[in-house]
Chain A
Amino acid sequence: MIQQEIIDIVNRSLAEEFELETENMKPEAHLYKDLGLDSLDAVDMVIVLENAFGRKLRDEKAILKIQTLGDLYAFIEESRRNY
């Protein structure tokens, strides 16, 4: 899976779940400050992404450091390598 596919899947999943405008979904967008998500959304984000990528992500320690969409893309890419 190339990085663009990851970006597309993440953006599509999050846009649908959280009703986000796709033009706001830039790598530097902060999940909380720019996209308006909160701690409950973060829980649901993991569930949505686990479903989209077909693997468990919730126990990865690196997940706690994610702040931007770019961090999220990198996290998914890294978890894919380690899977």
Chain B
Amino acid sequence: MSINRVVITGMGAVSPYGVGADILYKSMRQGASAVKKCPALEEVNGLNCHIAGSVPNLDEKQIPRKHRRSMSRMSFFSMLSCMEALEMAKITPEMRQNGQTGVIIGTTVGSPQTQQDFFSDYLQDYSIERIKSSLFFKIMGNTCASNVALALGISGRVMAPSAACATGIQAIGLGYEAIALGKQRTMLCGGAEELHPLTVAVFDIIKAASTGYNSNPGRSPRPFDKDRDGTVCSEGCGIVVLESLESALEREAHIYGEVIGFSATSDTTNISSPDPKSIEQCMLAALISAEIEPDQVEYVNAHATATQLGDPAECEAIERVFGNQTYVSSFKGHLGHSLAGSGALEVISMLKMMAENLCLPTLNLEQPGEDCAMVRHVLQTQPLSIRTVIKNNFALGGINSSLILRKYA
């Protein structure tokens, strides 16, 4: 069994700011919110959250019809993100096809819009005679990973973890472990989500969606803030190219960061309410995986989605593990919560911010709530040389995951 160092050599993003990792980071750097009014949500009876982050101006026609026909919106996001990431990493077609390159992209559920289209037709007369051949390929759990692998000729491992909001970090963690163990040389990893009223409703039904900022969409979500009132859903996809250090050096690839630890644990206390102790155990497990001590972590990129229960639970756990001097921010205030897409999108923004020796704040965090005040919040963009960070991703269903990254040196 070999243990390889694993580095990041490419990034690709489709976010509510648009297509591209640069527009993602530049928009965040400017302090822009990606959350807007969403008229489609206003039409849903009983739904109280009318704001969201939608991907604008998507040009899916650049994907050949042969591949596009079996893709839904989340697979378009995945494909465009992977194309950008591969180009940035300068991964050649030969590398993609040699069996040593794989793809891990998960989602919460297969395309909900396609499922709606199917059932809207099917329930008219319980007939399947009008249903086209590509239906299954858009709703299967592995839709993003398989469509991307097929379209890009990626012949190694194809995996699709489904862990709701923790999917993105799980995907990166699985890729990290596969490369560390020498099972793959290169892997495209991340998560994707497409916005649908069903997703927003999930949070609204359990009183975890923001409902008080429908007239001021840019002011919500408000992670950690005393006036936070729940999460705001969004959509998109983040992809990172993971590669063994040996391979990256051999190719003289630019290295954007190194993955040094990963953990995935289960919170068995409740299917929806996060337990601080479980979060603490998850972060401790990541530190053990990385073989570092808590005081070596200089920044925590929190999962924090601005819910009443989730934010304080995470703060309590962060304070227990890292104390009150480690910088903490959440990017949900900028991006909203793209569920399976969130983990990798936030990793990409974090890597770019570290490259600029900056620390981005939690957008909309003006005054921390008393229950979130025990950690060192970043309230505005500040110069900061950060070497080692932990990225949290937690999910409904009791799935926790943490990833530890550091600047490559």
B305 to chain A, nearest CB (A): 39
How far is A44 from B69 in the complex, measured between Cα atoms in Å? 11
Residues of B near A40 (CB, < 8 A) are 69-70, 133-134
Nearest Cβ on chain B to A53's Cβ, whole angstroms: 14
CB distance from B326 to the nearest CB of A (A): 52
Residue among B65, B66, B131, B133 with most chain A CB within 10 A: B133
Q: Is the CB of B133 within 8 A of A43?
A: yes
Q: Which of A19, A43, A58 contacts B65 (CB 8 A)?
A: A19
B66 and A44 form a contact (CB under 8 A)? no
Q: In whole Å, how far is B117's beta carbon from the nearest beta carbon of chain A? A: 14
Kindly list chain B residues whose C-beta atoms are within 8 Å of the C-beta of A36.
66
B95 CB to nearest A CB, Å:
27
Mask for B317-359, Cβ within 8 A of A = 1, else 0? Answer: 0000000000000000000000000000000000000000000
Docked-complex contact A18 and B65, CB < 8 angstroms: yes
The size bracket of the interface on A is 10 to 19
Residues of A within 8 A of B134 (CB): 40, 44
* B133–A44 CB distance below 8 A: yes
B132 & A51 in contact (Cβ 8 Å cutoff): no
CA distance A51 to B121 in the complex (A): 14
Q: Which residues of chain A have C-beta atoms less than 8 A from B65's C-beta?
A: 18-19
Interface size on B (CB < 8 Å)?
Answer: 10
Which residues of A in the span 1-47 have a Cβ within 8 Å of any Cβ on B? 18-19, 36, 40-41, 43-44, 47
| Residues 107 to 140 of chain B near chain A (Cβ within 8 Å) | 129-134
Residues on A with beta carbons closer than 8 Å to the beta carbon of B129 = 47, 50, 56, 58
Q: How far is the CA of A70 from the CA of B130 in the complex (A)?
A: 25
The answer to whether B132 touches A44, judged by C-beta atoms less than 8 angstroms apart, is yes
B66 and A47 contact, CB distance less than 8 A:
no
Residue in B66, B70, B130 whose beta carbon sits within 8 Å of that of A51 in the complex: B130
In the complex, what residues of B have CB within 8 A of residue A47's CB? Answer: 129-132
Contacts of B66 in A (CB 8 A): 36
Closest residue of chain A to B132 (Cβ to Cβ) is A44
- Chain A residues with Cβ below 8 Å from B69 are 40-41
- For B61, the closest partner residue in chain A by CB is A19
Give, as a whole number of angstroms, the nearest-CB distance from B133 to chain A. Answer: 4
**Closest chain B residue to A19, Cβ basis:** B65
Complexed CA–CA distance, A43 and B70 (Å): 13
Interface residues of B in 129-181 (CB under 8 A from A): 129-134
Chain A residues lying within 8 Å of B131, measured Cβ to Cβ, are: 47
Per-residue B-contact encoding for A52-83, CB less than 8 Å = 1, 0 else: 00001010000000000000000000000000
Query: Complex Cα distance A23/B130, Å?
Result: 29
B132, A43: Cβ atoms closer than 8 Å: yes
Interface string of B55-99 (1 = CB under 8 A from A): 000000000011001100000000000000000000000000000
List the B residue with the shortest CB-CB distance to A38: B66
CA distance A47 to B128 in the complex (A): 11
A2 to chain B, nearest CB (A): 28
Docked CA distance A43–B133 (Å): 6
Q: How far is the CB of B342 from chain A (nearest CB, A)?
A: 33
Chain B residues within 8 Å of A56, by CB: 129
CB distance from B79 to the nearest CB of A (A): 17
**A56–B69 CA distance with the chains assembled, in angstroms:** 23
- In the assembly, what is the distance between CA of A18 and CA of B134, in Å? 13
B59 to chain A, nearest CB (A): 15
For residue B65, which residue of chain A has the nearest CB?
Answer: A19
Instruction: Pick 10 A–B contacts, CB within 8 A, sort by A.
Output: A18-B65, A40-B133, A41-B133, A44-B132, A44-B133, A44-B134, A47-B129, A47-B132, A51-B130, A56-B129
Which 7 A-B pairs give the minimum distances between C-beta atoms? A43-B133, A40-B133, A44-B132, A19-B65, A44-B133, A47-B132, A47-B130
Q: Which residue numbers of A lie inside 8 Å of B, CB to CB?
A: 18-19, 36, 40-41, 43-44, 47, 50-51, 56, 58
Identify 5 new A-B residue pairs, CB closer than 8 A, beyond the known A40-B133, A44-B132, A44-B133.
Answer: A18-B65, A40-B69, A41-B69, A43-B132, A50-B129
Q: Taking beta carbons and an 8 Å cutoff, which residues of B are in contact with A?
A: 65-66, 69-70, 129-134
